[in-house]
């Protein structure tokens, strides 16, 4: 299936089956804002639990907090967000559409990359088994020409970004003959910087001094609480503080469904270490965070690490874990070595000493920080992209297709569907009796409407790993049919064994043990 079609199907599926709705849809929606529906919110909660348990529960030196979304305005001055949390924007004068200048250039670069891939594909077809990709891209003159173009563009773009030279960024767009996708014209305005923070007023009086911001990252809520947590938790370095929460960014080019939203959730952890030991811990967290994604059991080739060429002024190393979304490899998680930048800035702006006394070294210092920051919504989208499967199934009266969400069982919104074969003869009562038992441990669903085949399809579409069917024999032999989502196999089992079979498969322990 073409990736674009896959993406459209996933979006339609999430709406049809109660995973995600457009926010305020009855008023035609609000761009780049989404609501998680009955199954979506369950899946989201399960992802949060998986992250929290992996980070907080499984690490004796990491604790979790839940800080407020509103923070003192000086926080954002100290962190650098007021002055530098900007996107370079450009408008097309004919279509009146606004774009991120850096995205226009990156998309142009990707187009050239696609031309290389096209040449490679053509050659692979021509040479068959004898084809050697490395040799081809190192020698083919057309590919070399494209590569040179990419390298020159990348260098020029990076220099312009580093020098914050907005005129040069515009010149790159003009020289590259990039046209507006809507009007097709190259009639561009100048590039200007646009701050991504949402501001609002606190109290009853409007004005500059009352402006506060909706946090653009959860990390600062951790930094300003560093001293409180370290002291009250008697934490010894190295230690971490984790947090899950909402963040807000006034994204101008908000596209790609829940990938880039204006209101989203982050799962962040700041790990405080001795200065000089940050690279060791950076590698440690890179490895562990990869494992967290891999433990979900999807193909590892869907993930790749991308080291940043250009580091933020406060970082001395940074890597993204990228995922192969239906629209290509994009950032899923960032792992950053943030030095002592944030704590030092808060120390300076607050006038409070933010230091750690290291007994072993017998000295005070501002700790260095390794940050792991993963988007909850992007993790959700990566899971759905992996889990969405269309399968042809052979039936006595021809073939049929089923859509199934192969979500890892511990994260599935509904773990078990309990179904009486018919709505009479005491089967519903028996089914509800079983349901009541299972509900103590798991989110279950009772379903008695439509044929059993239709009910199985419905559960496949929402990703329920187990269906339990109660038939007339169940009333006398204490057994039921269990049907497995992924291979559709059915087995006769004793009612007494249901909990054991289900609980073993849906336990979060299955994921945590792989870390």
Positions touching ligand GAP (CB under 6 A) are 217, 219, 249, 251, 260-261, 264, 266, 268, 331-334, 371, 373-375, 377-378
d(CA 461, CA 15): 12
> Residues 332, 321: contact at Cβ < 8 Å?
yes
> Residues 454, 53: contact at Cβ < 8 Å?
no
Render the burial of 317-343: b for 16+ CB within 10 Å, e for the rest: bbbbbbbbbbeeebbbbbbbbbbbbbb
Q: Which residues lie below 8 Å from residue 49, measured CB to CB, with a gap of 6+? A: 508
Report the residue number, 153 or 258, with the smaller CB distance to ligand GAP.
258
> Residues 314, 368: contact at Cβ < 8 Å?
no
Report the residue number, 249 or 346, with the smaller CB distance to ligand GAP.
249
Report the residue number, 87 or 460, with the smaller CB distance to ligand GAP.
87
d(CA 448, CA 238): 54
d(CA 51, CA 347): 30
Residues across the chain: 515
Least separation in angstroms between CB 300 and ligand GAP? 19
Q: Which two tokens stand for residue 211?
A: 């402006």
Report the residue number, 374 or 470, with the smaller CB distance to ligand GAP.
374
Residue with tokens 């068959």: 128
Report the residue number, 333 or 460, with the smaller CB distance to ligand GAP.
333
Report the residue number, 120 or 196, with the smaller CB distance to ligand GAP.
196
Give the DSSP H/E element, type plus range, for residue 459: helix 452-462
CA 119 from chain centre, in angstroms, equals: 33
Report the residue number, 278 or 471, with the smaller CB distance to ligand GAP.
278
Name which of 393, 284, 272, 289 is nearest 333 in CA terms: 289
Least separation in angstroms between CB 161 and ligand GAP? 16
Cβ–Cβ contacts within 10 Å for residue 466, how many? Answer: 24
Report the residue number, 219 or 407, with the smaller CB distance to ligand GAP.
219
Least separation in angstroms between CB 470 and ligand GAP? 43
Q: β-strands 388-395, 398-405: how paired?
A: antiparallel
Q: Which two tokens stand for residue 141?
A: 């003159």
Least separation in angstroms between CB 377 and ligand GAP? 5
Strand runs labelled E in 396-452: 398-405, 416-420, 444-446
Least separation in angstroms between CB 496 and ligand GAP? 44
Report the residue number, 173 or 374, with the smaller CB distance to ligand GAP.
374
What residue is closest to ligand GAP based on CB? 375
d(CA 477, CA 490): 17
> Residues 406, 425: contact at Cβ < 8 Å?
no
Least separation in angstroms between CB 346 and ligand GAP? 15
Render the burial of 65-101: b for 16+ CB within 10 Å, e for the rest: bebeeebebebbebbebbeebebbbbbbeeeeeebbb
Report the residue number, 40 or 375, with the smaller CB distance to ligand GAP.
375
Report the residue number, 279 or 315, with the smaller CB distance to ligand GAP.
315
Least separation in angstroms between CB 371 and ligand GAP? 6
Least separation in angstroms between CB 254 and ligand GAP? 7
Least separation in angstroms between CB 261 and ligand GAP? 4
Q: Which residues lie below 8 Å from residue 483, measured CB to CB, with a gap of 6+? A: 456, 466, 467, 468, 469, 489, 490
Least separation in angstroms between CB 71 and ligand GAP? 14
Least separation in angstroms between CB 212 and ligand GAP? 19
Report the residue number, 266 or 385, with the smaller CB distance to ligand GAP.
266
CA 113 from chain centre, in angstroms, equals: 25
Report the residue number, 99 or 146, with the smaller CB distance to ligand GAP.
99
Residue with tokens 């074969």: 421
Least separation in angstroms between CB 193 and ligand GAP? 17
d(CA 464, CA 404): 9
Least separation in angstroms between CB 511 and ligand GAP? 19
């Amino acid at each position: 299936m073409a990736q674009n079609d896959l993406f459209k199907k996933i979006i339609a599926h999430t709406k049809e089956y109660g995973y995600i709705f457009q926010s305020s849809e009855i008023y035609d929606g609000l761009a780049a804002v989404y609501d998680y529906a009955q199954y979506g919110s369950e899946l989201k909660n399960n992802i949060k639990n998986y992250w929290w348990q992996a980070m907080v529960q499984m690490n004796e030196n990491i604790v979790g907090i839940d800080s407020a979304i509103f923070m003192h305005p000086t926080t954002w001055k100290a962190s650098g967000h007021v002055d530098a949390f900007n996107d370079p924007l450009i408008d097309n004068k004919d279509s009146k559409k606004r774009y991120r200048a850096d995205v226009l250039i990156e998309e142009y670069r990707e187009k050239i990359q696609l031309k290389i891939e096209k040449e490679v594909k053509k050659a692979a077809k021509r040479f068959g088994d004898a084809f050697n990709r490395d040799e081809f891209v190192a020698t083919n003159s057309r590919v070399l020409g494209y590569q040179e173009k990419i390298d020159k563009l990348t260098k020029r773009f990076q220099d312009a970004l580093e020098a914050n030279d907005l005129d040069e960024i515009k010149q790159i767009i003009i020289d590259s003959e990039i046209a507006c996708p809507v009007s097709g014209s190259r009639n561009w305005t100048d590039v200007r910087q646009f701050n991504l923070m949402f501001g609002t007023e606190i109290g009853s009086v409007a004005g500059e001094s009352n402006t506060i911001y909706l946090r653009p990252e959860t990390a600062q809520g951790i930094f300003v609480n560093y001293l409180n947590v370290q002291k009250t938790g008697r934490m010894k370095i190295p230690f971490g503080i984790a947090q899950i929460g909402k963040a807000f960014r006034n994204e101008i080019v908000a596209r790609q469904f829940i990938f880039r939203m204006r209101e989203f959730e982050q799962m962040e952890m700041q790990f405080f270490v001795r200065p000089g030991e940050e690279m060791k811990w950076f590698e440690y967290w890179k490895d562990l965070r990869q494992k967290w994604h891999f433990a979900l059991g999807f193909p590892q080739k869907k993930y790749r690490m991308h080291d940043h060429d250009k580091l933020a002024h406060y970082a001395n190393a940074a890597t993204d874990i990228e995922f192969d979304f239906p629209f290509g490899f994009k950032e899923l998680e960032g792992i950053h070595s943030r030095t002592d930048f944030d704590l030092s800035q808060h120390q300076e702006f607050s006038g409070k000493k933010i230091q750690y006394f290291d007994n072993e070294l017998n000295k005070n210092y501002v700790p260095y920080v390794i940050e792991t920051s993963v988007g909850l919504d992007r993790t959700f989208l990566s899971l759905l992209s992996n889990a969405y499967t269309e399968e042809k199934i052979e039936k006595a009266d021809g073939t049929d297709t089923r859509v199934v969400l192969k979500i890892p069982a511990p994260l599935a919104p509904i773990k078990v569907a309990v179904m009486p074969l018919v709505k009479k003869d005491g089967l519903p009562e028996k089914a509800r009796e079983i349901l009541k038992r299972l509900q103590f441990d798991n989110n279950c669903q009772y379903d008695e409407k439509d044929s059993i085949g239709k009910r199985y399809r419905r559960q496949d579409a929402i990703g329920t790993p187990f269906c339990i069917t109660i038939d007339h024999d169940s009333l006398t032999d204490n057994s039921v049919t269990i049907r497995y989502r992924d291979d559709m196999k059915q087995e006769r089992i004793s009612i007494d064994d249901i909990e054991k079979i289900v609980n073993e498969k849906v336990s979060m322990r299955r994921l945590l043990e792989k870390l």
